Structure 1
Amino acid sequence: MASRHHDIADDLRHQITTGRIKPGERLPSESRLAGQYKVSTATLRRALTVLQGQGLVEKIHGRGNFVRRPFRKITYVGGWGMLDPRTAADADLRVTVRTTALGARGDLTALLRVPDGCPLTEFLCLSYEGESPHSLARIYVPHDLAPNEVFGDGSSSARMEASFTVPNPPPAEVRETVSARLPTPDEASTLRINSALAVLAITRVAADTAGRVVEAALLVFPGDRVDAVFTTHHVIDQRETQR
Protein backbone atom coordinates (compact mmCIF):
# COMPACT_ATOMS: atom_id res chain seq x y z
CA MET A 1 0.00 0.00 0.00
CA ALA A 2 1.32 3.42 -0.96
CA SER A 3 2.18 5.65 1.97
CA ARG A 4 0.07 8.73 2.66
CA HIS A 5 2.75 11.21 1.63
CA HIS A 6 2.93 9.64 -1.85
CA ASP A 7 -0.85 10.05 -2.20
CA ILE A 8 -0.53 13.73 -1.30
CA ALA A 9 2.37 14.18 -3.73
CA ASP A 10 0.31 12.54 -6.49
CA ASP A 11 -2.63 14.87 -5.85
CA LEU A 12 -0.49 18.03 -5.81
CA ARG A 13 1.39 16.83 -8.90
CA HIS A 14 -1.92 16.40 -10.73
CA GLN A 15 -2.99 19.92 -9.78
CA ILE A 16 0.34 21.30 -11.03
CA THR A 17 0.49 19.38 -14.32
CA THR A 18 -3.14 20.19 -15.19
CA GLY A 19 -2.61 23.89 -14.52
CA ARG A 20 -4.90 24.13 -11.53
CA ILE A 21 -1.86 25.40 -9.61
CA LYS A 22 0.16 27.54 -11.99
CA PRO A 23 3.95 28.03 -12.37
CA GLY A 24 5.25 30.62 -9.94
CA GLU A 25 2.22 30.29 -7.67
CA ARG A 26 2.79 29.95 -3.94
CA LEU A 27 1.34 26.83 -2.34
CA PRO A 28 -0.74 27.19 0.84
CA SER A 29 1.30 27.09 4.05
CA GLU A 30 2.53 23.70 5.21
CA SER A 31 0.25 23.79 8.25
CA ARG A 32 -2.76 24.63 6.08
CA LEU A 33 -1.95 21.84 3.62
CA ALA A 34 -1.43 19.40 6.48
CA GLY A 35 -4.87 20.32 7.82
CA GLN A 36 -6.42 20.02 4.35
CA TYR A 37 -5.05 16.49 3.90
CA LYS A 38 -5.56 15.59 7.58
CA VAL A 39 -1.95 14.53 8.15
CA SER A 40 0.93 15.67 10.32
CA THR A 41 3.24 18.45 9.17
CA ALA A 42 6.06 15.90 8.95
CA THR A 43 4.05 13.75 6.52
CA LEU A 44 3.13 16.81 4.44
CA ARG A 45 6.79 17.85 4.26
CA ARG A 46 7.75 14.38 2.98
CA ALA A 47 5.21 14.85 0.17
CA LEU A 48 6.69 18.24 -0.70
CA THR A 49 10.18 16.72 -0.67
CA VAL A 50 9.04 14.25 -3.36
CA LEU A 51 7.82 17.14 -5.54
CA GLN A 52 11.00 19.13 -4.90
CA GLY A 53 13.07 16.15 -6.02
CA GLN A 54 11.03 15.98 -9.23
CA GLY A 55 11.67 19.67 -9.92
CA LEU A 56 8.00 20.64 -9.59
CA VAL A 57 8.16 22.58 -6.32
CA GLU A 58 10.79 24.94 -4.94
CA LYS A 59 11.08 25.91 -1.29
CA ILE A 60 12.34 29.46 -0.75
CA HIS A 61 13.54 30.10 2.78
CA GLY A 62 11.27 32.48 4.66
CA ARG A 63 8.73 32.68 1.82
CA GLY A 64 7.23 29.22 1.40
CA ASN A 65 6.80 26.61 -1.33
CA PHE A 66 6.29 27.65 -4.95
CA VAL A 67 5.46 25.80 -8.15
CA ARG A 68 8.69 25.91 -10.13
CA ARG A 69 8.65 27.49 -13.56
CA PRO A 70 10.17 25.30 -16.32
CA PHE A 71 13.82 26.21 -16.75
CA ARG A 72 15.06 27.24 -20.16
CA LYS A 73 18.44 25.87 -21.19
CA ILE A 74 21.47 27.96 -22.03
CA THR A 75 24.31 26.83 -24.27
CA TYR A 76 27.86 26.68 -22.97
CA VAL A 77 30.28 26.90 -25.89
CA GLY A 78 33.55 25.13 -25.12
CA GLY A 79 36.96 26.47 -26.05
CA TRP A 80 36.65 29.54 -23.88
CA GLY A 81 33.35 29.19 -22.09
CA MET A 82 31.33 31.84 -23.84
CA LEU A 83 27.57 31.57 -23.53
CA ASP A 84 25.60 31.52 -26.75
CA PRO A 85 24.21 35.11 -26.76
CA ARG A 86 20.91 33.92 -28.24
CA THR A 87 20.17 31.43 -25.49
CA ALA A 88 21.55 33.76 -22.83
CA ALA A 89 19.20 36.51 -24.00
CA ASP A 90 16.25 34.10 -24.21
CA ALA A 91 16.77 32.94 -20.65
CA ASP A 92 16.95 36.58 -19.44
CA LEU A 93 19.33 35.69 -16.65
CA ARG A 94 20.71 38.10 -14.10
CA VAL A 95 23.92 37.52 -12.17
CA THR A 96 25.03 38.53 -8.71
CA VAL A 97 28.79 38.87 -8.38
CA ARG A 98 30.61 38.89 -5.06
CA THR A 99 34.36 39.50 -4.91
CA THR A 100 36.66 38.23 -2.17
CA ALA A 101 40.42 38.62 -1.69
CA LEU A 102 42.08 35.42 -0.49
CA GLY A 103 45.33 33.48 -0.52
CA ALA A 104 45.84 30.40 -2.68
CA ARG A 105 45.34 27.16 -0.76
CA GLY A 106 45.00 23.49 -1.59
CA ASP A 107 43.76 22.73 -5.11
CA LEU A 108 43.92 26.40 -6.11
CA THR A 109 47.71 26.40 -5.93
CA ALA A 110 47.81 23.57 -8.48
CA LEU A 111 45.12 25.04 -10.73
CA LEU A 112 46.74 28.48 -10.92
CA ARG A 113 50.32 27.18 -10.66
CA VAL A 114 51.13 29.57 -7.82
CA PRO A 115 52.76 29.14 -4.40
CA ASP A 116 50.75 28.67 -1.24
CA GLY A 117 49.35 31.97 0.01
CA CYS A 118 49.65 33.79 -3.34
CA PRO A 119 47.05 36.63 -3.35
CA LEU A 120 44.01 35.87 -5.51
CA THR A 121 40.63 37.45 -6.20
CA GLU A 122 37.58 35.19 -6.18
CA PHE A 123 34.47 36.14 -8.16
CA LEU A 124 31.45 34.22 -6.91
CA CYS A 125 28.88 34.47 -9.70
CA LEU A 126 25.37 33.15 -9.15
CA SER A 127 22.93 33.47 -12.04
CA TYR A 128 19.16 33.60 -11.61
CA GLU A 129 16.18 33.02 -13.85
CA GLY A 130 13.51 35.07 -12.15
CA GLU A 131 14.02 34.34 -8.45
CA SER A 132 15.44 30.84 -8.97
CA PRO A 133 19.19 30.12 -9.05
CA HIS A 134 20.28 28.86 -12.47
CA SER A 135 24.05 28.26 -12.32
CA LEU A 136 27.10 28.83 -10.15
CA ALA A 137 30.63 29.94 -11.01
CA ARG A 138 33.68 30.46 -8.81
CA ILE A 139 36.31 32.33 -10.83
CA TYR A 140 39.84 32.79 -9.46
CA VAL A 141 42.27 35.36 -10.89
CA PRO A 142 45.75 36.42 -9.70
CA HIS A 143 45.14 39.57 -7.68
CA ASP A 144 47.19 41.81 -10.01
CA LEU A 145 45.03 40.72 -12.97
CA ALA A 146 41.64 41.13 -11.28
CA PRO A 147 39.31 43.39 -13.34
CA ASN A 148 38.19 45.57 -10.42
CA GLU A 149 37.01 48.28 -12.77
CA VAL A 150 34.42 45.83 -14.15
CA PHE A 151 33.26 43.94 -11.11
CA GLY A 152 33.97 46.30 -8.26
CA ASP A 153 33.90 45.14 -4.65
CA GLY A 154 31.11 43.51 -2.71
CA SER A 155 27.85 42.46 -4.35
CA SER A 156 26.60 43.67 -7.70
CA SER A 157 24.42 42.64 -10.61
CA ALA A 158 25.47 42.05 -14.18
CA ARG A 159 24.39 40.40 -17.41
CA MET A 160 25.16 36.72 -17.72
CA GLU A 161 27.92 37.38 -20.23
CA ALA A 162 29.86 39.41 -17.66
CA SER A 163 31.07 36.31 -15.80
CA PHE A 164 32.37 34.78 -19.05
CA THR A 165 34.08 37.82 -20.59
CA VAL A 166 37.21 37.06 -22.61
CA PRO A 167 40.15 39.13 -21.31
CA ASN A 168 42.16 41.37 -23.58
CA PRO A 169 44.42 39.96 -24.89
CA PRO A 170 42.64 36.59 -25.00
CA PRO A 171 44.41 33.58 -23.44
CA ALA A 172 46.77 31.52 -25.55
CA GLU A 173 45.61 28.22 -24.02
CA VAL A 174 42.35 27.09 -22.44
CA ARG A 175 42.00 23.70 -20.80
CA GLU A 176 38.55 22.49 -19.77
CA THR A 177 37.76 19.40 -17.71
CA VAL A 178 34.10 18.39 -17.93
CA SER A 179 32.37 15.91 -15.64
CA ALA A 180 28.86 14.89 -14.67
CA ARG A 181 28.48 14.30 -10.95
CA LEU A 182 26.19 14.77 -8.01
CA PRO A 183 26.26 18.22 -6.39
CA THR A 184 28.02 18.88 -3.12
CA PRO A 185 25.70 19.77 -0.20
CA ASP A 186 26.75 23.43 -0.58
CA GLU A 187 26.01 23.42 -4.34
CA ALA A 188 22.63 21.73 -3.82
CA SER A 189 21.70 24.30 -1.18
CA THR A 190 22.90 27.30 -3.22
CA LEU A 191 21.19 26.16 -6.42
CA ARG A 192 18.11 24.88 -4.54
CA ILE A 193 18.25 21.51 -6.27
CA ASN A 194 17.77 17.97 -5.08
CA SER A 195 21.02 16.28 -4.12
CA ALA A 196 20.14 13.44 -6.51
CA LEU A 197 20.08 15.73 -9.57
CA ALA A 198 23.31 15.47 -11.58
CA VAL A 199 25.22 18.64 -12.39
CA LEU A 200 27.58 19.46 -15.24
CA ALA A 201 30.83 20.58 -13.61
CA ILE A 202 33.43 22.36 -15.74
CA THR A 203 36.91 23.28 -14.53
CA ARG A 204 38.41 25.83 -16.92
CA VAL A 205 42.04 26.97 -16.74
CA ALA A 206 43.31 29.72 -19.07
CA ALA A 207 46.98 30.67 -19.58
CA ASP A 208 48.77 33.41 -21.53
CA THR A 209 51.56 33.01 -24.09
CA ALA A 210 54.18 32.89 -21.30
CA GLY A 211 52.35 29.98 -19.65
CA ARG A 212 51.04 32.04 -16.72
CA VAL A 213 47.56 31.04 -15.60
CA VAL A 214 45.33 34.10 -15.90
CA GLU A 215 42.13 32.46 -14.67
CA ALA A 216 40.80 29.27 -13.11
CA ALA A 217 37.03 28.85 -13.12
CA LEU A 218 34.89 26.23 -11.39
CA LEU A 219 31.48 26.21 -13.13
CA VAL A 220 28.45 24.23 -12.00
CA PHE A 221 25.25 23.86 -14.05
CA PRO A 222 22.28 21.68 -13.03
CA GLY A 223 22.06 19.04 -15.75
CA ASP A 224 18.58 20.08 -16.88
CA ARG A 225 19.56 23.70 -17.55
CA VAL A 226 22.49 23.62 -19.96
CA ASP A 227 23.80 22.14 -23.20
CA ALA A 228 27.56 22.12 -23.73
CA VAL A 229 28.92 22.40 -27.28
CA PHE A 230 32.56 21.76 -28.19
CA THR A 231 33.91 22.26 -31.73
CA THR A 232 37.27 21.00 -33.00
CA HIS A 233 38.99 22.71 -35.94
CA HIS A 234 41.53 20.58 -37.81
CA VAL A 235 44.36 22.33 -39.70
CA ILE A 236 44.90 20.58 -43.01
CA ASP A 237 48.42 20.60 -44.43
CA GLN A 238 48.27 21.99 -47.97
CA ARG A 239 50.82 19.39 -49.08
CA GLU A 240 48.42 16.65 -48.05
CA THR A 241 45.64 18.08 -50.24
CA GLN A 242 47.93 18.20 -53.29
CA ARG A 243 48.87 14.54 -53.21
Structure 2
Amino acid sequence: MLREVEIEVCINSANVDYVRRAAAAAEQGGASRIELCAAMDQDGLTPAIDPIKAARQAFRPEGLMVMVRPRAGNFYYSLEESDTMVSQIEMAAQAGADGVVFGGLRARDNAIDEGLLQRLLDTARGLKLTTTFHRAFDATHDPEMSLAVLMQFGVDRVLTSGTRWGSGETAEQGVSTLNSLIAQAGKRIEIVVGGGLSPDNSRSLMGKLLPSSGKVSLHAYSGVLHNGEVSSERVRAMV
Protein backbone atom coordinates (compact mmCIF):
# COMPACT_ATOMS: atom_id res chain seq x y z
CA MET A 1 0.00 0.00 0.00
CA LEU A 2 1.13 3.55 -0.70
CA ARG A 3 1.56 5.50 2.51
CA GLU A 4 0.92 9.13 3.42
CA VAL A 5 -1.43 9.79 0.52
CA GLU A 6 -2.74 13.30 1.05
CA ILE A 7 -5.24 15.29 -0.98
CA GLU A 8 -4.41 18.69 -2.44
CA VAL A 9 -7.28 20.82 -3.77
CA CYS A 10 -6.68 23.42 -6.46
CA ILE A 11 -8.75 26.58 -5.96
CA ASN A 12 -9.44 29.22 -8.59
CA SER A 13 -9.17 32.69 -7.03
CA ALA A 14 -12.25 34.04 -8.81
CA ASN A 15 -12.91 36.51 -5.99
CA VAL A 16 -12.25 36.81 -2.28
CA ASP A 17 -15.64 35.46 -1.19
CA TYR A 18 -15.30 32.43 -3.46
CA VAL A 19 -11.80 31.73 -2.11
CA ARG A 20 -13.06 31.84 1.47
CA ARG A 21 -15.86 29.36 0.71
CA ALA A 22 -13.62 27.06 -1.32
CA ALA A 23 -10.78 27.01 1.20
CA ALA A 24 -13.18 26.32 4.08
CA ALA A 25 -14.84 23.50 2.13
CA ALA A 26 -11.46 21.96 1.30
CA GLU A 27 -10.50 21.97 4.97
CA GLN A 28 -13.88 20.57 6.03
CA GLY A 29 -13.43 17.76 3.53
CA GLY A 30 -10.06 16.84 4.97
CA ALA A 31 -7.67 18.24 2.35
CA SER A 32 -4.10 18.55 3.59
CA ARG A 33 -3.19 21.30 1.13
CA ILE A 34 -4.76 23.80 -1.22
CA GLU A 35 -3.14 25.32 -4.27
CA LEU A 36 -4.42 28.83 -4.98
CA CYS A 37 -4.35 29.95 -8.61
CA ALA A 38 -5.79 32.75 -10.67
CA ALA A 39 -7.17 32.23 -14.18
CA MET A 40 -7.64 28.48 -14.22
CA ASP A 41 -9.01 28.87 -17.75
CA GLN A 42 -5.38 29.66 -18.62
CA ASP A 43 -4.01 26.70 -16.62
CA GLY A 44 -3.36 28.82 -13.53
CA LEU A 45 -1.58 32.13 -12.93
CA THR A 46 -0.33 33.96 -9.84
CA PRO A 47 -3.24 35.15 -7.68
CA ALA A 48 -3.46 38.64 -6.20
CA ILE A 49 -2.56 39.29 -2.58
CA ASP A 50 -6.13 39.67 -1.26
CA PRO A 51 -7.28 36.18 -2.31
CA ILE A 52 -4.11 34.72 -0.75
CA LYS A 53 -4.90 36.48 2.53
CA ALA A 54 -8.49 35.23 2.35
CA ALA A 55 -7.30 31.67 1.76
CA ARG A 56 -4.93 31.96 4.72
CA GLN A 57 -7.77 33.07 6.99
CA ALA A 58 -10.09 30.28 5.82
CA PHE A 59 -7.61 27.36 5.62
CA ARG A 60 -5.92 26.59 8.93
CA PRO A 61 -3.58 23.67 8.09
CA GLU A 62 -0.01 24.53 7.08
CA GLY A 63 -0.71 23.71 3.48
CA LEU A 64 -1.45 26.92 1.59
CA MET A 65 0.40 26.68 -1.72
CA VAL A 66 0.38 29.66 -4.09
CA MET A 67 0.92 29.45 -7.84
CA VAL A 68 3.76 31.61 -9.18
CA ARG A 69 3.23 31.87 -12.93
CA PRO A 70 3.39 35.42 -14.31
CA ARG A 71 1.66 34.81 -17.63
CA ALA A 72 -0.13 32.21 -19.71
CA GLY A 73 1.49 30.33 -22.58
CA ASN A 74 4.87 28.64 -22.60
CA PHE A 75 7.25 28.18 -19.66
CA TYR A 76 10.19 30.13 -21.11
CA TYR A 77 10.81 33.19 -18.96
CA SER A 78 12.89 36.30 -19.57
CA LEU A 79 15.06 37.93 -16.90
CA GLU A 80 12.36 40.54 -16.38
CA GLU A 81 9.76 37.81 -15.90
CA SER A 82 12.03 36.00 -13.44
CA ASP A 83 12.24 39.27 -11.47
CA THR A 84 8.44 39.30 -11.41
CA MET A 85 8.36 35.71 -10.13
CA VAL A 86 10.74 36.59 -7.30
CA SER A 87 8.47 39.49 -6.34
CA GLN A 88 5.43 37.21 -6.48
CA ILE A 89 7.09 34.69 -4.15
CA GLU A 90 7.80 37.50 -1.71
CA MET A 91 4.19 38.66 -1.98
CA ALA A 92 2.88 35.15 -1.33
CA ALA A 93 5.02 34.86 1.80
CA GLN A 94 3.84 38.25 3.03
CA ALA A 95 0.22 37.14 2.58
CA GLY A 96 0.73 33.99 4.67
CA ALA A 97 1.51 31.23 2.17
CA ASP A 98 3.25 28.07 3.35
CA GLY A 99 4.66 27.22 -0.06
CA VAL A 100 4.90 28.24 -3.70
CA VAL A 101 4.39 26.38 -6.96
CA PHE A 102 6.50 27.33 -9.97
CA GLY A 103 8.39 26.05 -12.98
CA GLY A 104 10.45 27.21 -15.92
CA LEU A 105 12.07 25.63 -18.96
CA ARG A 106 14.83 26.44 -21.45
CA ALA A 107 13.48 27.37 -24.87
CA ARG A 108 16.29 25.61 -26.74
CA ASP A 109 15.56 22.10 -25.46
CA ASN A 110 12.55 22.21 -23.11
CA ALA A 111 14.77 21.10 -20.23
CA ILE A 112 14.42 22.62 -16.76
CA ASP A 113 15.88 26.13 -16.57
CA GLU A 114 18.36 25.45 -13.77
CA GLY A 115 19.40 29.08 -13.37
CA LEU A 116 15.81 30.20 -12.85
CA LEU A 117 15.13 27.21 -10.61
CA GLN A 118 18.04 28.06 -8.32
CA ARG A 119 16.99 31.71 -8.09
CA LEU A 120 13.38 30.86 -7.20
CA LEU A 121 14.46 28.20 -4.71
CA ASP A 122 16.83 30.62 -2.99
CA THR A 123 14.03 33.16 -2.66
CA ALA A 124 11.51 30.63 -1.36
CA ARG A 125 13.92 29.04 1.10
CA GLY A 126 14.92 32.42 2.44
CA LEU A 127 11.25 32.97 3.25
CA LYS A 128 10.82 29.46 4.70
CA LEU A 129 8.40 28.38 1.95
CA THR A 130 8.12 24.84 0.63
CA THR A 131 8.47 24.38 -3.13
CA THR A 132 6.56 22.50 -5.80
CA PHE A 133 7.56 22.30 -9.47
CA HIS A 134 4.34 22.48 -11.47
CA ARG A 135 3.26 20.72 -14.65
CA ALA A 136 5.89 22.45 -16.75
CA PHE A 137 7.55 19.17 -15.75
CA ASP A 138 5.21 17.37 -18.16
CA ALA A 139 6.43 19.59 -21.01
CA THR A 140 10.02 18.35 -20.65
CA HIS A 141 11.27 15.69 -23.07
CA ASP A 142 12.84 13.39 -20.46
CA PRO A 143 10.81 13.01 -17.23
CA GLU A 144 13.42 10.84 -15.51
CA MET A 145 16.23 13.28 -16.22
CA SER A 146 14.02 16.20 -15.18
CA LEU A 147 13.17 14.49 -11.90
CA ALA A 148 16.85 13.90 -11.24
CA VAL A 149 17.46 17.64 -11.66
CA LEU A 150 14.67 18.53 -9.23
CA MET A 151 16.01 16.09 -6.66
CA GLN A 152 19.54 17.45 -7.10
CA PHE A 153 18.28 20.97 -6.38
CA GLY A 154 16.20 19.83 -3.40
CA VAL A 155 12.71 20.72 -4.65
CA ASP A 156 10.10 19.42 -2.19
CA ARG A 157 7.41 18.25 -4.65
CA VAL A 158 6.63 17.85 -8.33
CA LEU A 159 3.14 17.92 -9.85
CA THR A 160 2.71 15.55 -12.78
CA SER A 161 0.11 13.54 -14.66
CA GLY A 162 2.68 11.21 -16.19
CA THR A 163 1.48 12.38 -19.63
CA ARG A 164 2.64 15.00 -22.10
CA TRP A 165 1.61 18.58 -21.32
CA GLY A 166 -1.17 19.64 -23.68
CA SER A 167 -2.06 16.09 -24.71
CA GLY A 168 -5.40 16.14 -22.91
CA GLU A 169 -4.57 12.79 -21.32
CA THR A 170 -5.23 12.14 -17.65
CA ALA A 171 -3.18 10.65 -14.84
CA GLU A 172 -4.96 7.32 -15.39
CA GLN A 173 -3.32 7.21 -18.82
CA GLY A 174 0.05 8.12 -17.36
CA VAL A 175 0.34 5.26 -14.86
CA SER A 176 3.41 3.70 -16.45
CA THR A 177 5.41 6.94 -16.31
CA LEU A 178 4.07 7.74 -12.84
CA ASN A 179 5.27 4.38 -11.54
CA SER A 180 8.74 4.99 -12.98
CA LEU A 181 8.87 8.41 -11.34
CA ILE A 182 7.62 7.10 -7.97
CA ALA A 183 10.31 4.40 -8.00
CA GLN A 184 12.99 6.93 -8.93
CA ALA A 185 11.84 9.50 -6.35
CA GLY A 186 12.08 7.23 -3.32
CA LYS A 187 11.99 9.48 -0.27
CA ARG A 188 13.83 12.38 -1.90
CA ILE A 189 10.88 14.21 -3.49
CA GLU A 190 7.11 13.96 -3.22
CA ILE A 191 5.21 13.00 -6.36
CA VAL A 192 1.94 14.95 -6.56
CA VAL A 193 -0.30 13.17 -9.05
CA GLY A 194 -2.76 15.42 -10.87
CA GLY A 195 -4.75 15.37 -14.07
CA GLY A 196 -8.45 14.57 -14.23
CA LEU A 197 -8.68 13.10 -10.73
CA SER A 198 -11.99 12.81 -8.88
CA PRO A 199 -13.61 10.68 -6.17
CA ASP A 200 -14.80 8.43 -9.00
CA ASN A 201 -11.36 7.41 -10.29
CA SER A 202 -8.84 8.10 -7.52
CA ARG A 203 -9.24 4.71 -5.87
CA SER A 204 -8.75 2.96 -9.20
CA LEU A 205 -5.64 5.03 -9.90
CA MET A 206 -4.13 4.29 -6.50
CA GLY A 207 -4.65 0.60 -7.14
CA LYS A 208 -2.47 0.87 -10.25
CA LEU A 209 0.41 2.75 -8.64
CA LEU A 210 3.33 0.77 -7.28
CA PRO A 211 3.89 0.51 -3.52
CA SER A 212 6.37 3.11 -2.32
CA SER A 213 8.22 4.00 0.85
CA GLY A 214 8.25 7.60 -0.36
CA LYS A 215 5.43 10.13 -0.43
CA VAL A 216 2.71 10.32 -3.05
CA SER A 217 -0.25 12.70 -2.95
CA LEU A 218 -3.23 13.43 -5.19
CA HIS A 219 -4.17 16.80 -6.69
CA ALA A 220 -7.73 17.60 -7.79
CA TYR A 221 -9.46 20.60 -9.32
CA SER A 222 -12.64 20.10 -11.33
CA GLY A 223 -13.16 16.63 -9.85
CA VAL A 224 -14.07 18.11 -6.46
CA LEU A 225 -16.36 20.83 -7.79
CA HIS A 226 -20.16 20.78 -7.62
CA ASN A 227 -21.96 23.53 -9.54
CA GLY A 228 -18.69 25.42 -9.71
CA GLU A 229 -18.03 25.33 -5.95
CA VAL A 230 -15.54 23.19 -4.04
CA SER A 231 -17.62 20.44 -2.44
CA SER A 232 -16.53 19.31 1.01
CA GLU A 233 -18.39 16.04 0.33
CA ARG A 234 -16.41 15.37 -2.86
CA VAL A 235 -13.14 16.23 -1.14
CA ARG A 236 -14.06 13.92 1.73
CA ALA A 237 -14.88 11.15 -0.74
CA MET A 238 -11.34 11.41 -2.16
CA VAL A 239 -9.77 11.50 1.29
Specify the structure having the higher radius of gyration (Cα). Answer: 1
Q: What is the TM-score when the length of structure 2 is the normalising length?
A: 0.21
Higher fraction of helix: 2
Q: Choose between structure 1 and 2 for higher RCO, CA contacts under 8 A separated by at least 6 residues.
A: 2
Higher fraction of strand: 1
Q: What is the TM-score when the length of structure 1 is the normalising length?
A: 0.21
